[in-house]
Amino acid sequence: MGVGEGDVYHTSSSFSSASEYGRAILETPRRLCERAWAVSTPTEEMTEVKARSGAEMSRSLHWWDVIALGVGGMVGAGVFVSTGTAAHKYAGPSVVIAYLIAGVSALLSALCYTEFAVEMPVAGGAFSYLRITFGEFAAFITGANLIMEYVLSNAAVARSFTSYAASAYGVLHADAWRVHVDGLASGYDQIDPVAVLVVLLLTVCLCCSTQKSSMFNLVMTVLHIAFIFFIIIAGFVKGDTENLMQAGDAAANPSGFAPLGIRGIFNGAAVVYFSYIGFDAVSTTAEEVKNPARNMPIGVSGSVIIVTVLYTLIAVALCMLQPYDMIDTGAPFSTAFQHVVGLEWATNFIGAGASLGIMTSLLVAMLGQARYLCVLGRANIVPRWFAAVNPTTGTPINATVFLDFSVVPGACTAGIALFTDLSVLLNLISIGTLFVFYMVANALIFHRHHVPGKTDALPTAAFLTLLSVLAITFVTAWQCDKYNRHNWTLYLLGGLAVALTTLFWVKVPTAQRGKDWSVPCMPWVAAASIFLNVFLLGSVDKDSYIRFLTWTAIAVVFYLLYGVHSTHDAEALMSLDIPLKEFAFDTTSEEKYIEQKLEEGCRPIVVQVKGESPYWNQVMPPSLQSVKLAITLD
């Protein structure tokens, strides 16, 4: 029996036949225990895992490209809905403060993302960050939720583009540019060819080149910001500062800058926070950014700061144009300009501006979702086909086409047809994204204070658990105490959270930190991010939680039926991916010969390894005790 150097060996796949798959299903509990907590390292993510895409993604983005992508992803159409709702129902003119609070929370999350993106500049974003800290299962659940939230919200946003584009031409009926199909049930009978064309255009752009997509986004973002500045200038020129302190109907509604007090401001912050969602997709471009150690911190943090300034100014402009209790929650800016003498025409202009915002936010979201799926393919949790990067364009074409063409029919199907308002963006992607922000902040603290095999994970895990419990208790008390009768409870819980973080900071030393860039004032920044994200999660509606749990259940089933077995097979195959020295088995003294070759650093290869062979189990590592191999015989 001979084994030559360079021979190719194959393990038996769990999906090679029905019997093999049945055997794999029976082994699911054992494989789940092995794979669910399996962590990779930053080095592995940047070398072995990255190499599975074949060609490399093109590094062509600069810091201004990252800023433009961040601004374009965040300044979408959500601001045109959330500002009116937050001002009218919760914060009043102090919606400006609400935007600042939400901006600080978004910046904290952005800093956590940035440290990971600099240390490990790969396309996986939150998936890769969680995979090196909490393991494969937690990473997959977060990544799967992000992809599914992106796909559904992109289809909905593409449909809303049609309504706003039509309003730019003075067509106010939402379905005016859609095609009615007789014979289908109501709500299922409006086909949206404009949405299909928009998604097709952006898909082609994303497939051709990330640099070209970035240039397209840059142009659209500049136009959109110019439109926002028009609203800001018009508001400051035509508005009245008295509207910042006085209600329109003072007899029925309280006046003042913060008519509903601090509670109204924080509730408003929870509403407007969803206008900041989008920078997480930018983190997936780290693999395509030149000098990520410099450009990622500037790009991600800079985009959040720019957006915060724009949001606060546009909120002031809106509240100056109308008293807070007169602001329309559905179309606040259009309604406000209808009451401004000489600017009635701006209503159509707002429709055009909102269309630009939808286009840029859709582009960035489509870019991010494709890279998430690409890295899931690299990790073998989904078929490896999705990991392929086109050598000519340097883009993950397979993942891009699959996801974005699934959006095209999705935008015309029954489920997506139900969501025709822009407010769906706030509800559809909110809980999944906030959950990921929460997980990334936890992962950063865990990564900083725990090194596998060198430090004890228990103190860090205990701190994160207790901090989350305090945050959940705080938001529960906040939601239940509508009349501020037990504010002492909130002060107590907040004080305990500060004391707990101080104790952890003093007692648990930092085990590692980013070499090129790291978040300052740790663990305070990440701990504050955890607390704020839990607080904002407490403001999400019940339907969003139902949707989140439904998608999570679907993702878990997929992982149990496919993902865990695919990664198990890949791990078994990689364990054989070691150069072999040429040698032959002496069948007359096999056991002694195997032992000798093992001492020399060789790997013995046999036709079939029997699990019931005591000597084989003794000399071979557990991962190879039941591996079947195809070899040649002399």
- pLDDT, position 551: 82
- The top-scoring range by mean pLDDT among 215-219, 292-296, 367-371, 528-532 is 528-532
- Nearest by Cα to 80 from 228, 194, 195, 199: 228
pLDDT tens digit sequence for 149-187: 777 667 666 666 776 777 666 665 556 666 666 665 554
State the DSSP code for 27.
T
Q: What does residue 389 show for φ and ψ, rounded to 5 degrees?
A: -115, 130
pLDDT tens digit sequence for 62-113: 888 889 888 888 887 667 767 888 888 888 899 999 999 989 988 999 999 9
Q: Is residue 525 part of a domain?
A: no
- Same domain for 82 and 10: no
- Same domain for 213 and 74: yes
Q: Is residue 288 part of a domain?
A: yes
Q: Is residue 143 part of a domain?
A: yes
Give me the mean pLDDT over the 419-443 stretch.
Answer: 69
pLDDT tens digit sequence for 208-264: 877 788 888 888 888 888 888 988 998 888 888 888 888 888 777 888 888 888 888
Give me the mean pLDDT over the 384-391 stretch.
Answer: 85
Q: Show the beta-strand stretches assigned E in 529-603.
A: 583-584
- For 3, the enclosing helix (H) or strand (E) is strand 2-3
CA 307 from centre of chain: 18
- Same domain for 254 and 108: yes
- Same domain for 317 and 195: yes
Average pLDDT, the chain: 77
Domain boundary among 421, 448, 475: 448
Domain boundary among 419, 448, 477: 448
Among 443-447, 465-469, 581-585, the range scoring the smallest mean pLDDT is 581-585
Measured CA to CA in angstroms, residue 341 lies from 234, 242, 337, 346 at distances of 11, 18, 8, 11
pLDDT tens digit sequence for 230-240: 889 988 888 88
Q: Which residues pair with 389 in a beta bridge?
A: 54
- Same domain for 202 and 117: yes
For residue 128, pLDDT over 80 is answered with yes
The tokens describing 59, both together, are: 């590094």
- Same domain for 296 and 228: yes
For residue 591, pLDDT over 60 is answered with no
The tokens describing 44, both together, are: 């592995």
Q: Is residue 318 part of a domain?
A: yes
Q: Is residue 506 part of a domain?
A: no
Under a CB-based contact definition with an 8 Å cutoff, are residues 555 and 141 in contact? yes
Domain interval for residue 15: 2-35+567-624
CA-to-CA distance for 90 and 295, rounded, in angstroms? 38
Our CA angle for 109, 465, 379, nearest 5°, is 60
Domain boundary among 448, 468, 486: 448
Report residue 25's pLDDT band, with 50, 70 and 90 as the boundaries: very high
Sorted by sequence, the CB contacts under 8 Å of residue 523 that are 6+ apart come out as 445, 448, 449, 501, 504, 505
- Same domain for 318 and 425: yes
- Same domain for 319 and 275: yes
Torsion sign, CA atoms 534, 539, 542, 545: negative
- Same domain for 398 and 305: yes
Among 39-43, 172-176, 537-541, 587-591, the range scoring the smallest mean pLDDT is 587-591
Among 483-492, 525-534, 590-599, the range scoring the smallest mean pLDDT is 590-599
- Same domain for 435 and 305: yes
Q: Is residue 463 part of a domain?
A: no
> In this structure, which amino acid lies at residue 85?
T
CA-to-CA distance for 598 and 576, rounded, in angstroms? 14
Label residues 501-536 b or e (16+ Cβ within 10 Å = b).
beebbeebeeeeebeebbbeebbebbbbbbbbbbbb
CA-to-CA distance for 205 and 214, rounded, in angstroms? 9
- Same domain for 25 and 101: no
Q: Is residue 297 part of a domain?
A: yes
pLDDT tens digit sequence for 606-632: 434 333 444 334 444 444 444 444 333
pLDDT tens digit sequence for 478-528: 888 766 676 788 889 999 999 999 999 999 999 888 788 889 999 999 999
- For 213, the enclosing helix (H) or strand (E) is helix 210-238
CA 79 from centre of chain: 19
Which has the higher per-residue pLDDT, 157 or 31? 31
CA-to-CA distance for 156 and 112, rounded, in angstroms? 29
Domain count along the chain? 2
- pLDDT, position 599: 54
Q: Is residue 305 part of a domain?
A: yes
- Same domain for 21 and 142: no
State the DSSP code for 232.
H
Task: Indicate which CATH number applies to the domain containing 240.
Answer: 1.20.1740.10
